[in-house]
Structure 1
Amino acid sequence: MKKYNSYSTYQPSSVEWLGEIPLHWEIIRLKHICWRAANYGANESSESYLEEGVRFLRTTDIDDFGNLSSDGAVFLEDSKVADYKLDDGDILISRSGTIGRSFLYSKDKHGECAFAGYLVRFSLREKQLPKFIFYFTKSRAFLDYLGISIIQSTIGNVNGQKYANMSLSIPPLTEQKYIVSFLDRETTRIDTLITKKRELINLLEKKRNAVIAHAVTKGLNSNASMTDSKIEWLGKIPEHWKITRLKFISPQITVGIVVTPAKYYVDTGVPCLRSLNVKQGKLMYADIVFISSESNELHRKSMIFEGDLVVVRTGQPGATAVVDKRFHGANCIDLIIVRQSPYFNSHYLSYLANSDFAQTQFELGSGGAIQQHFNVGTAANLQVLAPPIVEQQEIVSFLDKKLSQMNNLINKVQKSINLLQQQRSALITAAVTGKIDVREEVKRGTA
């Protein structure tokens, strides 16, 4: 981060998460700079949602940077939210779920909006700049405060009074404007870089998917004789390849524990995979659950073994991974299990199942209005391209090497995004807590 000037004199704030502040700044509780504080939103069920009316803001509509998503917007009748409509400059902070997620409202930008019960509204007095307070809620100091204040219950939460009593480091209004101007420019610059890097990752992921799709549908030999597959979205395939269905090459296709799986959970025991443990081509140990040995034996049908495939049914349907030795003899919940085939390379099948060719079939076979979901029948009838086993192994070796290179590049770009986000947070924190003096930067127009 660029080196900025500090203030000439500081004073102890006596607030753990703020440290020293400039001598002329004040420590003030949030409620004391508001004319309306800790105002909870409306509690309305989804049954009341409309396709038009007053937009009803929920925590899930707001991202970590305070942007409002246009996806999944819901609306309510004006009469239901008359007391919960937002005014320009209102700040919303989430008190449950994604705790501390904040939003600064502008009627011109966001249209007429009301807010839901898990959000808390703060309306500032005229001598305060709402965007300065909004930036404070994006600082490390605010996160430190949350860490101290979280109430551990069924769902961790910070209630409205906790937010209202939060101590802030407040400069004079003129100085708030300088800081906001500085942060607007700098965060825009950083966010532009982040956006470009995310676009690069998207391009790399598309290229990765294209490499997989070509290898598992066209093979590695560009001189191979081709023939029409007679599948609309597939086109030509190598002449010596066959097309079959998954049910004809796997000894068994079944499903994991479906009925009330939570009743079998124990603190330690046999690992049990869920959909969140399955990503395309890999299994994740994080957030694993366990069942007892007795429960595992009771559900022998859904035990998994090294070389089997597990396929996600709901959420990201079709995401497939090969069971490795870590989970040999484990169990799974609501995943489709494809037993290892004696005639096919399991890793080839995993690459094929994660390719656009298979994903198209999963989508066509999925149902459900809220989220995609498919069953054993859909998986069993998946059309499978069947090159000779030696060629399958060659494809796996090629893809393992090629994708390792591409994944390393994606990881490097992601690390640079993480560093930029850390820089963004550090810059906001330094500015709103007075660790740097940006007034001259703004005056010179060099911010």
Structure 2
Amino acid sequence: MSFPAYPGYKHSGVELLGEFPDHWTLKRFKNVFGERAERSTDGTEELLSVSAYFGIKPRSETLDEGDHLSRAESLEGYKVCQAGDLVINIMLAWNRGLGFSWQRGIVSPAYCVFYVTDGSVPKFLDYLVRSDECIRYFKTHSAGIMDSRLRLYPESFGRLFTAIPPPCEQTQIARFLDHETARIDALIEEQQRLIELLKEKRHAVISHAVTKGLDPTVPMKDSGVEWLGEVPVHWAIKRLKQLVLDAAGIQMGPFGGMLVDLDDSDTGYKVYGQENTISGDFSSGNRWVPESRYFALSNYHLEVGDIVLTRKGSLGNCRRVSLLPQAGIIDSDTIRVRVQDQMMNPDYLELLLHEAGYISIQLSLVKRGAILSGLNSEIIANLVIVVPPPDGQEELLLEIKAASSKFDQGISDCEYAVGLLRERRSALISAAVTGKIDVRGWQPPARAKAPVLEAEAV
């Protein structure tokens, strides 16, 4: 299905707005909204949160584990917003940090709250102000020298222009977008469920391979570990500390004052940390130590073949160093593991730390129901590792890589589809709220594919 353009257009006189349907009205936002100044007298109203992803929601629905509802001692004096009000985080308007609230509540005193004064339909306006065109417009007129410092002050917002259709047409556009975005969102959710399913299957295949092997006929033995079960009879069960070169084979980075006053120019000796481990890029970073301190801290130096883990967070942040552009040492947020190659292939150990379910189980047991604030060398040293013979590790790596590539391709295809759907969703919203397509004759079809924009249909 495609949608036509409107019969006639006129130019707004504003470069970023361009043309709009000739029966729509060009207005400044100050003629659409008035600013609400009401404040909470006791702070007992529902605290609302502003997000680029979902607009306005109760803060209680967006909390991650360990988050606080608010760090303020009292919410007295917070700004009141009513259902149908626009809330703008002036520091993040350029990044879609705004939206309409559909309930009464309170928001941060640093935000701006606006109510509709011209009879426009809030649902339409919500799509409008969160559209790509409006966000670019807001960014252009925000004050500041860099993104992190941009501010869209209420006076600037009020001076900006927008094209407004008649109220009945606003309602129709909102109905159309509600229907079509819900359909696209359902497709996105379906793809995301498939991604999670593929990841789970990939994880299950790898976890089975690294605990049971590839040959289902091989004799098995009891591992002696309740949560591990049986393993191939010729495989060994060891602690990770039994697989390293020496006492310094598992090493946390230096604490205290050993890494203060770092150089910000290249001395030839780098400090490697969390950002390198997460990205896998050991050429990035801008922390260096002088030669004398590097040699004084040589116990913490990094080599090609080492495995590094982020000390804070999960073992998913794990890398084997395959290329090291400069000599350097690890920082206090990093744990280095240096295994004996003849006993454990570093690539195979990296795979275990990334993917093996039995490693995750051990970390869960260490937590003992509490939040693990940070890993340490003792926890890593005592991890139970199932060790196939060296030649078996090579074979497992090849087989797992081949099996994983199929899952990885499926995941990549789904992620690509999600990206296209999100682009389509944004394009559809922008086309409708700016009058590029005419949906006045649209009615919800019983069965239909996602609509094609006029430009796509040509």
TM bin (shorter chain): 0.7 to 0.9
Matched, 1:248 2:251: no
Which residue does the alignment assign to 2:347? Answer: 347
Matched, 1:226 2:220: yes
> How do residues 66-215 of structure 1 correspond to structure 2 at under 5 angstroms?
66=55, 68=57, 69-72=61-64, 74=69, 80-81=75-76, 84-96=79-91, 99-107=95-103, 113-125=105-117, 127-150=119-142, 151-152=144-145, 155-161=148-154, 162-215=156-209
Question: Which residue, 298, 301, 317 being the options, matches 1:300?
Answer: 298
Q: Which amino acid aligns with 2:346?
A: S
Question: Which residue, 321, 324, 331 being the options, matches 2:322?
Answer: 324
Which residue does the alignment assign to 2:456? Answer: none
- Secondary structure at the aligned position of 1:122 is classed as strand
Residues 241 and 385, structure 1, Cα contact 8 Å, conserved in 2: yes
Q: Distance in 1 between matches of 2:372 and 2:161?
A: 42
Residues 362 and 374, structure 1, Cα contact 8 Å, conserved in 2: no
Q: Distance in 2 between matches of 1:316 and 1:156?
A: 32
- Secondary structure at the aligned position of 2:55 is classed as coil
Q: Distance in 1 between matches of 2:287 and 2:372?
A: 27
Which residue does the alignment assign to 2:24? Answer: 25
Q: Distance in 2 between matches of 1:192 and 1:177?
A: 22
- Secondary structure at the aligned position of 2:46 is classed as strand
- Secondary structure at the aligned position of 1:292 is classed as coil
Which residue does the alignment assign to 2:400? Answer: 399
Q: Which amino acid aligns with 1:80?
A: L
- Secondary structure at the aligned position of 1:440 is classed as coil
Q: Distance in 1 between matches of 2:368 and 2:158?
A: 46
Cα deviation, residue 317, structure 1: 4.3
Residues 306 and 328, structure 1, Cα contact 8 Å, conserved in 2: no
Which residue does the alignment assign to 1:36? Answer: 35
Deviations 1:335-393 (A, max 9, x none): 11101422210111111112221122223334897764211111111111111111111
Deviations 1:94-116 (A, max 9, x none): 33368322332222xxxx53112
Cα deviation, residue 403, structure 1: 1.3
Residues 265 and 289, structure 1, Cα contact 8 Å, conserved in 2: no
Q: Distance in 2 between matches of 1:344 and 1:118?
A: 55
Q: Distance in 2 between matches of 1:227 and 1:13?
A: 78
- 1:31 to 1:421, Cα distance in 2 relative to 1, 3 A: same
Query: Which segment drifts farther, 212-221 or 436-445?
Result: 436-445
Q: Which runs of 5+ in 1 are unaligned?
A: none
Larger radius of gyration: 2
- 1:166 to 1:79, Cα distance in 2 relative to 1, 3 A: same
Deviations 1:144-166 (A, max 9, x none): 12442342369323233243433
Query: Which segment drifts farther, 132-141 or 184-193?
Result: 132-141
- 1:88 to 1:262, Cα distance in 2 relative to 1, 3 A: farther
Which residue does the alignment assign to 1:422? Answer: 423
Cα deviation, residue 429, structure 1: 0.7
Deviations 1:270-315 (A, max 9, x none): 6654434435xx72569x4222352772643333222111112223
Which residue does the alignment assign to 1:356? Answer: 357
Which residue does the alignment assign to 1:283? Answer: 280
Cα deviation, residue 77, structure 1: 10
Matched, 1:65 2:54: yes
Residues paired across the two proteins, number: 428
Q: Distance in 1 between matches of 2:56 and 2:282?
A: 32
Residues 84 and 115, structure 1, Cα contact 8 Å, conserved in 2: yes
Q: Distance in 2 between matches of 1:353 and 1:76?
A: 36
- 1:16 to 1:259, Cα distance in 2 relative to 1, 3 A: farther
Residues 40 and 121, structure 1, Cα contact 8 Å, conserved in 2: no
- Secondary structure at the aligned position of 1:365 is classed as helix
Deviations 1:113-138 (A, max 9, x none): 31124533222125011121211233
Q: Distance in 2 between matches of 1:200 and 1:339?
A: 37
Q: Distance in 2 between matches of 1:432 and 1:265?
A: 52
Q: Which amino acid aligns with 1:226?
A: M
Q: Which amino acid aligns with 1:427?
A: L
Q: Which amino acid aligns with 2:148?
A: I
Cα deviation, residue 78, structure 1: 12
- 1:285 to 1:308, Cα distance in 2 relative to 1, 3 A: closer
Cα deviation, residue 330, structure 1: 4.3
- Secondary structure at the aligned position of 1:264 is classed as coil
Residues 352 and 359, structure 2, Cα contact 8 Å, conserved in 1: yes
Residues 48 and 56, structure 2, Cα contact 8 Å, conserved in 1: no
- Secondary structure at the aligned position of 1:181 is classed as helix
Q: Which runs of 5+ in 2 are unaligned?
A: 452-458
Identical positions, percent: 29
Q: Which amino acid aligns with 1:364?
A: L
